[in-house]
Amino acid sequence: MNRTFLEAAYRLEIQKDMTKAWDVVLAALAAHNIDRAMYVVRDDGGIPNWFVLSNLPKDWPKPLIEDASFNEPFVTQCCATFEVSKLGSVYLENHERYVDDETRAYVATLSGFDWHAGLGIPCCLKGSGRFGGFIVGSNAKRHDFERSVMPLADQLQTFCLIAHRKFEQCRQAGTQAEARRRLSVREHQVMDLIAAGQRPKAIAQTLSLSEASVRLYIKNARMKLGVSTNEEAVIRLLQDVQAPVR
Protein backbone atom coordinates (compact mmCIF):
# COMPACT_ATOMS: atom_id res chain seq x y z
CA MET A 1 0.00 0.00 0.00
CA ASN A 2 1.08 3.59 -0.52
CA ARG A 3 2.05 5.85 2.35
CA THR A 4 -1.42 7.39 2.76
CA PHE A 5 -3.11 4.02 3.16
CA LEU A 6 -0.35 2.70 5.42
CA GLU A 7 -0.62 5.69 7.76
CA ALA A 8 -4.40 5.40 7.78
CA ALA A 9 -4.15 1.68 8.54
CA TYR A 10 -2.00 2.50 11.57
CA ARG A 11 -4.47 5.13 12.78
CA LEU A 12 -7.26 2.59 12.40
CA GLU A 13 -5.36 0.08 14.48
CA ILE A 14 -5.33 2.39 17.51
CA GLN A 15 -8.95 3.55 17.22
CA LYS A 16 -11.59 2.23 19.59
CA ASP A 17 -14.49 4.38 18.42
CA MET A 18 -16.47 3.45 15.29
CA THR A 19 -17.17 7.06 14.27
CA LYS A 20 -13.52 8.04 14.50
CA ALA A 21 -12.47 4.92 12.60
CA TRP A 22 -14.95 5.79 9.83
CA ASP A 23 -13.51 9.32 9.67
CA VAL A 24 -10.03 7.84 9.19
CA VAL A 25 -11.30 5.75 6.29
CA LEU A 26 -13.06 8.69 4.64
CA ALA A 27 -9.95 10.88 4.91
CA ALA A 28 -7.75 8.20 3.31
CA LEU A 29 -10.21 7.74 0.45
CA ALA A 30 -10.59 11.49 -0.09
CA ALA A 31 -6.82 11.80 -0.44
CA HIS A 32 -7.21 9.65 -3.58
CA ASN A 33 -10.17 11.60 -5.01
CA ILE A 34 -12.69 9.08 -3.71
CA ASP A 35 -15.23 11.22 -1.90
CA ARG A 36 -18.28 8.95 -1.74
CA ALA A 37 -18.33 5.84 0.39
CA MET A 38 -20.63 3.32 2.01
CA TYR A 39 -19.92 0.32 4.19
CA VAL A 40 -22.84 -2.10 4.11
CA VAL A 41 -23.01 -5.53 5.71
CA ARG A 42 -25.87 -7.92 6.37
CA ASP A 43 -26.06 -10.67 8.95
CA ASP A 44 -27.26 -14.03 7.65
CA GLY A 45 -30.68 -15.11 8.78
CA GLY A 46 -34.34 -14.96 7.99
CA ILE A 47 -34.79 -11.38 9.18
CA PRO A 48 -32.55 -8.84 7.38
CA ASN A 49 -30.14 -7.26 9.83
CA TRP A 50 -28.21 -4.48 8.14
CA PHE A 51 -25.34 -2.34 9.36
CA VAL A 52 -24.58 0.80 7.35
CA LEU A 53 -21.95 3.55 7.41
CA SER A 54 -22.25 6.24 4.76
CA ASN A 55 -21.08 9.76 3.98
CA LEU A 56 -24.01 10.42 1.65
CA PRO A 57 -26.78 12.85 2.66
CA LYS A 58 -28.81 11.54 5.62
CA ASP A 59 -26.46 8.53 5.77
CA TRP A 60 -28.27 7.03 2.77
CA PRO A 61 -29.10 4.12 2.37
CA LYS A 62 -29.51 3.83 6.15
CA PRO A 63 -33.16 5.07 5.99
CA LEU A 64 -33.96 2.07 3.75
CA ILE A 65 -32.85 -0.67 6.11
CA GLU A 66 -36.03 -0.49 8.20
CA ASP A 67 -37.90 -1.91 5.20
CA ALA A 68 -37.90 -5.72 5.45
CA SER A 69 -37.86 -5.97 1.64
CA PHE A 70 -34.71 -3.84 1.22
CA ASN A 71 -31.81 -5.50 -0.60
CA GLU A 72 -28.66 -3.51 -1.23
CA PRO A 73 -27.69 -4.61 -4.78
CA PHE A 74 -23.94 -4.83 -4.23
CA VAL A 75 -24.24 -6.89 -1.07
CA THR A 76 -26.94 -9.08 -2.58
CA GLN A 77 -25.30 -9.75 -5.94
CA CYS A 78 -21.55 -9.25 -5.62
CA CYS A 79 -20.51 -10.91 -2.35
CA ALA A 80 -20.16 -14.48 -3.60
CA THR A 81 -16.43 -13.88 -4.31
CA PHE A 82 -13.76 -11.39 -3.29
CA GLU A 83 -13.66 -9.98 -6.81
CA VAL A 84 -13.81 -6.17 -6.95
CA SER A 85 -16.74 -4.94 -9.09
CA LYS A 86 -17.10 -1.77 -11.16
CA LEU A 87 -20.33 -0.06 -10.15
CA GLY A 88 -22.32 3.08 -10.84
CA SER A 89 -24.25 4.55 -13.74
CA VAL A 90 -21.20 4.67 -16.02
CA TYR A 91 -20.80 0.89 -15.66
CA LEU A 92 -24.47 -0.04 -15.73
CA GLU A 93 -24.15 -1.49 -19.23
CA ASN A 94 -21.55 -3.95 -17.92
CA HIS A 95 -24.20 -5.55 -15.72
CA GLU A 96 -27.17 -5.21 -18.06
CA ARG A 97 -28.30 -8.84 -17.87
CA TYR A 98 -28.23 -8.85 -14.06
CA VAL A 99 -29.93 -5.51 -13.43
CA ASP A 100 -33.58 -5.38 -12.36
CA ASP A 101 -35.80 -2.34 -11.94
CA GLU A 102 -35.01 -1.98 -8.23
CA THR A 103 -31.29 -1.92 -8.96
CA ARG A 104 -31.79 0.68 -11.69
CA ALA A 105 -33.69 2.86 -9.23
CA TYR A 106 -30.92 2.39 -6.66
CA VAL A 107 -28.24 3.43 -9.17
CA ALA A 108 -30.38 6.39 -10.21
CA THR A 109 -30.51 7.53 -6.58
CA LEU A 110 -26.74 7.33 -6.37
CA SER A 111 -26.51 9.42 -9.53
CA GLY A 112 -28.76 11.94 -7.82
CA PHE A 113 -26.06 12.20 -5.16
CA ASP A 114 -23.60 12.94 -7.99
CA TRP A 115 -22.05 9.47 -7.68
CA HIS A 116 -21.45 8.00 -11.12
CA ALA A 117 -18.44 5.67 -10.93
CA GLY A 118 -17.47 3.33 -8.15
CA LEU A 119 -16.03 0.06 -6.93
CA GLY A 120 -17.69 -2.63 -4.88
CA ILE A 121 -15.15 -4.24 -2.56
CA PRO A 122 -16.39 -7.40 -0.77
CA CYS A 123 -14.93 -7.91 2.69
CA CYS A 124 -16.98 -10.88 3.91
CA LEU A 125 -18.78 -13.35 1.68
CA LYS A 126 -22.18 -14.99 1.67
CA GLY A 127 -22.21 -18.07 3.84
CA SER A 128 -19.82 -16.62 6.41
CA GLY A 129 -22.56 -15.46 8.80
CA ARG A 130 -22.18 -11.81 7.83
CA PHE A 131 -21.57 -10.56 4.31
CA GLY A 132 -20.92 -7.22 2.66
CA GLY A 133 -18.20 -4.64 2.24
CA PHE A 134 -17.43 -1.23 0.82
CA ILE A 135 -18.87 0.71 -2.10
CA VAL A 136 -16.59 3.64 -2.92
CA GLY A 137 -16.50 6.11 -5.78
CA SER A 138 -16.87 9.63 -7.08
CA ASN A 139 -18.57 11.82 -9.67
CA ALA A 140 -15.74 11.24 -12.14
CA LYS A 141 -16.39 10.29 -15.73
CA ARG A 142 -15.57 6.72 -16.68
CA HIS A 143 -12.26 7.54 -18.38
CA ASP A 144 -11.06 9.71 -15.49
CA PHE A 145 -12.13 7.15 -12.90
CA GLU A 146 -10.30 4.33 -14.61
CA ARG A 147 -7.19 6.44 -14.95
CA SER A 148 -7.10 7.75 -11.38
CA VAL A 149 -8.80 5.10 -9.22
CA MET A 150 -8.59 1.74 -10.98
CA PRO A 151 -4.77 1.51 -10.60
CA LEU A 152 -5.40 1.64 -6.84
CA ALA A 153 -7.92 -1.23 -6.82
CA ASP A 154 -5.64 -3.77 -5.13
CA GLN A 155 -4.48 -1.27 -2.53
CA LEU A 156 -8.04 -0.19 -1.91
CA GLN A 157 -9.10 -3.77 -1.37
CA THR A 158 -6.34 -4.37 1.17
CA PHE A 159 -7.14 -1.15 3.00
CA CYS A 160 -10.87 -1.91 3.04
CA LEU A 161 -10.22 -5.36 4.50
CA ILE A 162 -8.20 -3.73 7.30
CA ALA A 163 -11.01 -1.24 7.90
CA HIS A 164 -13.59 -4.03 7.90
CA ARG A 165 -11.66 -5.87 10.59
CA LYS A 166 -11.60 -2.71 12.73
CA PHE A 167 -15.34 -2.13 12.23
CA GLU A 168 -16.02 -5.72 13.25
CA GLN A 169 -13.98 -5.20 16.42
CA CYS A 170 -15.88 -2.00 17.21
CA ARG A 171 -19.24 -3.68 16.62
CA GLN A 172 -18.30 -6.62 18.82
CA ALA A 173 -17.14 -4.28 21.59
CA GLY A 174 -20.38 -2.35 21.30
CA THR A 175 -22.43 -5.53 21.54
CA GLN A 176 -20.52 -6.64 24.61
CA ALA A 177 -20.89 -3.22 26.23
CA GLU A 178 -24.63 -3.27 25.54
CA ALA A 179 -24.88 -6.70 27.13
CA ARG A 180 -23.04 -5.42 30.20
CA ARG A 181 -25.42 -2.49 30.44
CA ARG A 182 -28.33 -4.94 30.46
CA LEU A 183 -27.10 -6.68 33.60
CA SER A 184 -29.37 -5.96 36.54
CA VAL A 185 -28.12 -4.42 39.77
CA ARG A 186 -28.24 -7.79 41.51
CA GLU A 187 -26.42 -9.53 38.64
CA HIS A 188 -23.65 -6.91 38.87
CA GLN A 189 -23.44 -7.38 42.63
CA VAL A 190 -23.13 -11.13 42.31
CA MET A 191 -20.53 -10.93 39.54
CA ASP A 192 -18.51 -8.37 41.51
CA LEU A 193 -18.33 -10.84 44.38
CA ILE A 194 -17.40 -13.65 41.98
CA ALA A 195 -14.57 -11.40 40.75
CA ALA A 196 -13.50 -10.93 44.38
CA GLY A 197 -13.13 -14.69 44.72
CA GLN A 198 -16.31 -15.56 46.64
CA ARG A 199 -18.23 -18.74 45.94
CA PRO A 200 -22.04 -18.89 45.51
CA LYS A 201 -22.67 -20.08 49.10
CA ALA A 202 -20.69 -17.17 50.57
CA ILE A 203 -22.30 -14.71 48.16
CA ALA A 204 -25.74 -15.93 49.27
CA GLN A 205 -24.83 -15.15 52.88
CA THR A 206 -23.37 -11.76 52.00
CA LEU A 207 -26.44 -10.65 50.03
CA SER A 208 -29.04 -12.49 52.18
CA LEU A 209 -30.16 -14.59 49.24
CA SER A 210 -30.65 -18.29 48.68
CA GLU A 211 -27.80 -20.12 47.01
CA ALA A 212 -30.20 -21.13 44.21
CA SER A 213 -30.97 -17.45 43.52
CA VAL A 214 -27.26 -16.62 43.38
CA ARG A 215 -26.62 -19.40 40.87
CA LEU A 216 -29.54 -18.14 38.75
CA TYR A 217 -28.10 -14.61 38.75
CA ILE A 218 -24.74 -16.03 37.67
CA LYS A 219 -26.35 -18.06 34.89
CA ASN A 220 -28.29 -15.03 33.60
CA ALA A 221 -25.21 -12.80 33.69
CA ARG A 222 -23.15 -15.31 31.72
CA MET A 223 -25.92 -15.63 29.15
CA LYS A 224 -26.17 -11.84 28.70
CA LEU A 225 -22.40 -11.55 28.36
CA GLY A 226 -22.24 -14.38 25.83
CA VAL A 227 -19.79 -16.52 27.81
CA SER A 228 -19.86 -20.02 29.27
CA THR A 229 -17.74 -19.70 32.44
CA ASN A 230 -17.53 -17.39 35.43
CA GLU A 231 -13.93 -16.60 34.59
CA GLU A 232 -14.89 -15.39 31.09
CA ALA A 233 -17.71 -13.31 32.54
CA VAL A 234 -15.37 -11.56 34.98
CA ILE A 235 -12.88 -10.83 32.19
CA ARG A 236 -15.65 -9.31 30.05
CA LEU A 237 -16.82 -7.09 32.88
CA LEU A 238 -13.30 -5.92 33.67
CA GLN A 239 -12.62 -5.03 30.03
CA ASP A 240 -15.18 -2.24 30.07
CA VAL A 241 -16.70 -1.43 33.42
CA GLN A 242 -20.25 -0.15 33.00
CA ALA A 243 -22.71 1.20 35.53
CA PRO A 244 -25.61 -1.18 36.13
CA VAL A 245 -29.03 -0.43 34.72
CA ARG A 246 -31.64 0.20 37.47
Kindly report, residue by residue over 31-47, the tens digit of the pLDDT: 999 999 999 999 876 66
> Could you tell me if 21 and 103 lie in one domain?
yes
Per-residue pLDDT at 109: 94
Alpha helices (H) in 45-119, listed in sequence order:
73-78, 101-112
The per-residue pLDDT for range 169-221, each reduced to its tens digit, is 888 777 666 666 678 889 989 999 999 999 999 999 999 999 999 999 999 88
In this prediction, residue 180 carries a pLDDT of 60
pLDDT at residue 77, as a whole number:
86
Q: Are 117 and 145 in contact (CB under 8 A)?
A: yes
User: CA 99 → CA 38, 71, 102, 193, distances in Å?
Assistant: 20, 13, 8, 59
Residue 165 shares a structural domain with residue 195: no
Specify the pTM: 0.72
Question: Where does a domain end: 175, 199, 220?
Answer: 175
* Among 101-105, 107-111, 125-129, 238-242, the least confident range: 238-242
Coil, helix or strand for 49? strand
Domain of 234, CATH number, reads: 1.10.10.10
Kindly indicate the confidence band of residue 128, based on its pLDDT and cuts at 50, 70 and 90.
confident
58 in any annotated domain: yes
CA angle 43–61–9, rounded 5-degree value:
70
pLDDT at 126: 87
User: Collapsing DSSP states into helix, strand and coil, what is residue 245?
Assistant: coil
Sign of CA dihedral 68, 226, 124, 36: positive
Number of domains in the chain: 2
Range of the domain at 55: 3-175
Q: How many residues does the chain have?
A: 246
**Are 10 and 84 within one domain?**
yes
Whether residues 65 and 125 fall in one domain: yes
